[in-house]
Every structure is written in C-alpha cells, then in structure tokens.
Amino acid sequence: MKGQTVRVLCITDNSDRPEAETFIGLKKKGVDIAVMCPSSAPHYTRLQQAGVPVLDVKLKSKFSPKAIRMIRGILMDRQIQILHLFNNNAISNGLFASRNLPVKIIAYRGIVSNISFLNPASWMTHLNPRVDHIICVAEKVREYFLNLRFLRLRVPPEKPVTIHKGHSLEWYQNAPADLSQFGIPQGAFTVCCTANYRPRKGIHVFIQAAGYLPKDADIHFLLVGEMKSARIMRLIQKSPMKEKIHLTGYRKDAPEIAAACNVAVLPALRREGLPKVIIEAMAYGVAPIVTNSGGSPELIEDGKSGIIVPPGSAEAIAEQITRLYKNPLLCREIGANAKKRIADSFRIEDTIERTYALYEKVLGRT
C-alpha cells in the first residue's frame, strides 16, 4: 500500500557524491535505508552524519561466504524488502544471500557492454532472473540491455530503467584552480581532458588533435589523471605541440582544475555511461566537447550546451576546439548553457524521486 515504509539495503563500493546524496535523500523521504560499503568510501562519513546506518564491509569477490552470511543476517534482522546492488560483487553476493527470502532485487549498471547471455558471470549478476530491475545510468545503457540477443533469450523490456545520476550546482562552488602550477601561462586558452588512462578513453586521439590546431594559436592541453602509458608519453613527445601539453597526474581537485579551463573534452571511443568528469565541468560553466559514445551525448544539446564529435576523429576535435578558440563569446555561451543544462535536466532531486518511485513500483504500490 502506498505510503508504507520501504526497507532497503544498498550495497556499494566507492560511493560517489550523487550516490551518497541519493541515499540521504531517500532517508529524508522516509525510506528505512541502510548502506553497506567500505569505510574508505569517500562519502562514508557524510552518510553517517546524515543519520544513514552504514556498515563497513568491502566485498572482494563475487562469492564471499562470510559476506553472504552477514548480508543474509541483515536482510532477516531488518526485514529488508529491497536489495539495491551497485556493482558485480554486490549483485552476486546479494543474490546468494537473499535466496528463498521475500526480497526484491534492483541492480545498477553504469557502463555500456561486457554483459552477455554466453557469459556465466553475467548470469550471476544482471542477467539473473531474480533481478527485478536494472537501473541504467544512461539511456544508451538501457538500449544495450534491450539489444542483447541469443537465440530466443531477451532481456524483458520492463527490466532496465534509465535513471540519470543527478547533481547540484551547490556542490561546485569552489574557486577554480591556479593553472600556472602546471606551467600554463595566465590567460592561455586551456582545454582539459580528465580521465585515468585506458585505451577506450581515447586519450591518444586527444593528443593527436593538438597536431591539427593552428600553429600560432595560444592553446594549451591539460591532461588530468593517471597517464601511465608509454604510448601516451611517446605521442606527447612526437607532437608538434608538446610544449603546450601538460600533465597533472591524479588530482583530488580535478573539478576545480576543469573549472579553470575554457573547454573540457572527453574523447571516449566506447562504453561510456554518463561521464561525471563532463558533468562537473558543465556545472562550472565550461564548454564540453564529447564523442558520440555511450551516454555522453545525453548530457548536452549539440551546438547549444556542448558539441558532439565522432569517436576517434582527432581532426573533428581540433576543428571544434579551434572554433571555440576563435569565438570566445560562443565558447562562454555554450559554457553558460552547459551549466543551465545540469541545473535543469540532471537534478539530484529527480534522481531521488525516480529511485523512490521504482521502489514503490517493485513493491507493487503504484
């Protein structure tokens, strides 16, 4: 019956800000929520201070008898109605722990790909018949599930549900970083790319784009994140713009660094969900350029609150950077529209409401 208390156990790992604020928002709505995550999670203390019961547990494998016993005990003691599971280890252990209990299962999926009817591991997680719903961080993730095929096997169309991770502009009020610490001259037009190196992130394409920029342009590239790749280092050394390509390494203040830039680029080749680094840059009013990969295009209105380019095209990235460099008013306008886009269309309040509505639905209250 609608209006009754909903009892939920969420199992996660390194809970990000939107995730933590969703838990807190659900508690404020009256959900009897508990969270299981390691104490190293960045917002562990924030959850405690908000009055959310937090259990310090890190799941190191897909099958942990000790963790399964612990989860099962919590399910029974707290009479949990919904298990909300945020990663593969959580889903697998949660499914084992909840066997023969009247518990609904909601799983989360944040990237495109790596699920298959032919992969036994997928049957232990998202494709398990006992999973009632899959919350997809982007519409492209939901479409991926709906397009899975093997013989007559299909994912039921009502099973995957898109709920974007919402944000709040209040989280992004810190002063922009001083880029001179990275050797960037004051006033230089700066383009950042924030990512830890993985081939699918397309960092090599971003570096190659520097070679297509006007030679006399005062444009600097800033790579934010771990770039432990000999290939990337070689590309930088061979670039005609190598003196204008800067690296920061891992930084906790990555959003503030992006805030000090003119443009933020995510040159991903595949598998993107809903990239947090682009959302953070947009929230600071920085013009974004993304590839037509995964959920990235869902963040922006092409040409208005950002620019979409084909994956793998260094020329296209360079062309759009040059366009924004030569049109500073356009660059600022797109940045302002990007900030408004996050404020209007990716609100944490909407994430909380849609998650709560799904809880009510899975319990048959709507």
- Distance of alpha carbon 314 from alpha carbon 105, whole angstroms: 43
- Spatial CB neighbours of 243, under 8 Å, sequence gap ≥ 6: none
CA distances from 163 to 102, 273, 348, 358 (A): 25, 12, 11, 10
CATH class label, 170-345: alpha beta
Residue 94 to residue 84: CA distance in whole angstroms:
9
Where do the structural domains in the chain lie, given as residue ranges?
7-166+347-362, 170-345
pLDDT of residue 4: 79
Which residue has 């591991």 as its token pair? 121
User: 160, 148 in Cβ contact below 8 A?
Assistant: no
pLDDT of residue 7: 98
Position 121 scores a pLDDT of 96
Q: Are 346 and 279 in contact (CB under 8 A)?
A: yes
Nearest to 353 by CA among 133, 136, 29: 29
**Residue whose entry in the numeric block shows the structure tokens 């929230």:** 283
DSSP characters for 174-237?
SPPP-GGGGTPPTT-EEEEEE----GGG-HHHHHHHHTTS-TT--EEEEEEB----HHHHHHHH
Q: What is each CA distance from 170 to 9, 109, 339, 348, in whole angstroms?
A: 28, 26, 12, 11
Q: Rounded to two decimals, what is the model's pTM?
A: 0.94
pLDDT at 350: 99
State the pLDDT at residue 366. Answer: 76
Chain centre distance of CA 100: 33
Could you list the mean pLDDT of each consecutive 10-residue stretch along the chain, which spans 366 residues?
81 93 98 96 95 96 96 98 98 98 98 95 98 98 97 98 98 98 97 96 97 96 96 96 97 98 98 95 99 97 98 98 99 99 98 99 91
Q: Most distant CA pair in the chain: distance in Å?
A: 69
Residue 14 contacts by C-beta under 8 Å, 6 or more apart in sequence?
37, 38, 40, 41, 42
Q: What is the CATH T-level fold of the domain 7-166+347-362, as seen in this structure?
A: Rossmann fold (3.40.50)
In angstroms, the first-to-last Cα distance of the chain is 8
